[in-house]
Amino acid sequence: MSFFARLLHSPEGLVGLLLLLLLAAAALLAPVLFPTDPLSIVAAPLTAPFTNGSVPLGTDRLGRNVLAALVHGARASLLVGLAAAAVAILVGALVGTLAGFSGGFIDEALMRVVDAFQIVPGFLLALAFVSVIGASLPTVVLAIALGAWTGPARLARAEVLSLRERDFVAAARVIGMHPLEIALREVLPNALPPVLALTAVIAAGAVLTESALSFLGLGDPNIVTWGSMIAEGRNVLRTAPFLSLAPGLALVITVLGIYLFAEGLSDALARRRIRQ
Amino acid sequence: MQHALVLLRRRLISSIPVLLIVVVGTFFLLEAAPGDAVDAYLAGIGGGDAAMVEQLRQSYGLDQSIWARLWTYLLSLLRLDLGWSVAFDRPILQLIGERLPNTLLLMGSATALSFSLGSLLGILAGARPGSFTDRALSIGSLALYAVPSFWLGLVLSVVFAVQLRWLPTSGIETIASGKAGLDRALDIARHLVLPVGALGFIYLALFIRTMRAGMAEVWRQDFALAARAKGLSRPRIVFRHVARNALLPLVTLLGLQSATMLGGSVVIESIFAIPGFGRLAQEAVAGRDAPLLMGIIVVSALLVIVVNLLVDIAYGLLDPRVGTSEQAA
């Protein structure tokens, strides 16, 4: 049975994969499905959902198309989630590898920096960072990654500590490779797989953090995000709760999709390891 | 107890450089912001002439170099002086001292809720790994973990406060109610039900999953097999042998989660209008109050250090093996 078949065999993996494919399709096709700016006014304000064919999910307080905003919001959420996870893993793996491979003072110093980032609540750090640098999509990605790179760093360091005494590292030393080259070209690639396994958890957390930031009004003001939709809908929570409920459900589905997919993936990996 | 003291001293000393990194790092981050505290203050009062600006800068020490200001800040930190809030025009320490108890109450209750309910459901799931209950709880906790806490808070407040009118929508207590003693405590408890629920339920999932995974691990150990071979009853094995040994990792989780929960309280307090530490952070950002934000980050780092220290001490008391290895090291 191929790896992919094993992934599809577990119900979690299958459902997660389907959810993620659906979201990715929505995110990629958003400009095709709804070419007009989702922030533009298209119909009477507060049109109830399922009443007007041209705006299937109704409109918000300003008369903006809810369905278009939801689909465009998927773009922002997935983009931030993936980018933040990529930055966090890249930085974490680099720092962890350098710390573990150098040992001594460099290791000690780098790990104290990791400790420092771990004792500051990630959300507070993101809040401070965005408020200082200004709210834009890249800033939000960096702000979230700032609070998420310590996990990968610790894991990479632990991996490197067990790898650096292996024969292939000694061999690389013997042929006269520069220590930095050994660390980055020989050790890092071997330490990477378990670190990459953290991607899903970090991406899921990043999606949630981004939504909380934009809910508080600290997201990029020029694009639609699910968090800002919830904040906007909150003003009419009593009369039109749907406006806050819909983007919230979209968030739950996205994060659940990522978790289920990760669960299925780790199940499939574990089963492969047992067979070997 | 001796172990605890040794551990305490070692941990306090090792946390000093870490705290220093936090202070210096945050100082430079906030320094990078366009404009300083005086600009923010002037924007608030609607401008002022050049002489006044100059005098204000001098009184805040903003005319000095960045290194001189960092040094002054570090020295005043040693005297437990966090500086002056521009937005509130009050000492920062006093402000934080006023707001912190509300947040500690919120976080403490949410932790108690997620820990107790989470370990209970985790035992239920781990009692028979692979059973229907186990699978249902596993999917359910995953779904719960995917819910944004602020959205859960909104949904809870729409259902229980707006529609059913069972509980108050916002605040920490009824304003100017004149209540005292037990009445006041009950009033605060009523106000805290929804925010504690929203914050606690998010972390519930983590405790369920950790407890369940721990129990699955313990079932494979020899002593679990021995207990079964002795013919002990199932509930006795589950509670006295398996669950007891799987409970320790949850204690570690308490320390790890304290930072996350502190961050989560920012949104929850803003939704339920609780005058707490997290809301203060949001107000500092809105008021462009860099010294206040700085103080908040430093105090939260200290808080996380203290919580982790308490967790470590508790861990040593619960598991005698930890203390011995510390001493041998």
Q: Which residue has the higher pLDDT, A107 or B230?
A: A107
The answer to whether the CB of A152 falls within 8 A of the CB of A182 is no
Taking the Cβ of residue B16 and every Cβ of chain A, the question of whether any pair is shorter than 8 Å is answered with no
pLDDT at A111: 92
The answer to whether the CB of A135 falls within 8 A of the CB of A220 is yes
pLDDT at B328: 42
Q: Which helix (H) or strand (E) holds B84?
A: strand B84-85
ipTM of this complex prediction, to 2 decimal places: 0.84
Report chain A residues whose CB lies below 8 A from the CB of B154: 230, 234, 237, 244, 248
Residue in A220, A250, A200, A243 with CA at minimum distance from that of residue A22: A250
**Residue A211 in tokens:** 């939504």
Chain A contacts to B (CB-CB under 8 A): 12, 112-113, 115-116, 118-125, 127-129, 131-133, 204, 208, 211-212, 215-216, 218, 227, 230, 234, 237-238, 241, 244-245, 248, 251-256, 259-260, 263
Report chain B residues whose CB lies below 8 A from the CB of A252: 143, 146-148, 151
Pairing of strands B90-91, B84-85: antiparallel
CB contact (8 A) between residue B158 and residue A260: no
Name all contacts of B157-163 with Cβ < 8 Å and 24+ positions apart.
Answer: B157/B194, B157/B271, B157/B272, B158/A237, B158/A238, B158/A241, B160/B193, B160/B194, B161/B194, B162/A237, B162/A238
**Residue B219 in tokens:** 């079932």
The answer to whether the CB of A204 falls within 8 A of the CB of A81 is yes
Q: Which residue has the higher pLDDT, B127 or A53?
A: B127
The answer to whether the CB of A229 falls within 8 A of the CB of A243 is yes
Q: Which residue of B has its CA nearest to A236?
A: B158
Share of chain B above pLDDT 90, in %: 8
Q: What is the pTM of this model?
A: 0.86
To the nearest whole angstrom, how far is the Cα of A35 from the nearest Cα of chain B?
A: 29
In this structure, how many other beta carbons lie within 10 angstroms of the beta carbon of residue A117?
19
Q: For residue A137, what are the CA distances in angstroms to A24, B67, B72?
A: 18, 32, 35
d(CA B210, CA B219): 14
pLDDT at B217: 82
Task: Print pLDDT tens along chain A (276 aa).
Answer: 566 777 777 778 888 889 999 998 888 887 888 777 777 777 777 777 777 767 777 777 777 888 888 888 898 899 999 999 999 999 999 999 999 988 889 999 999 999 999 899 989 999 999 988 888 889 999 999 998 999 999 999 999 988 888 888 889 889 988 888 888 888 888 888 888 888 888 999 999 999 999 998 888 888 889 998 998 888 888 888 888 888 999 999 999 999 888 888 877 777 766 665
B163-211 pLDDT tens trace: 777 887 777 777 766 777 787 888 888 888 889 988 998 888 888 988 8
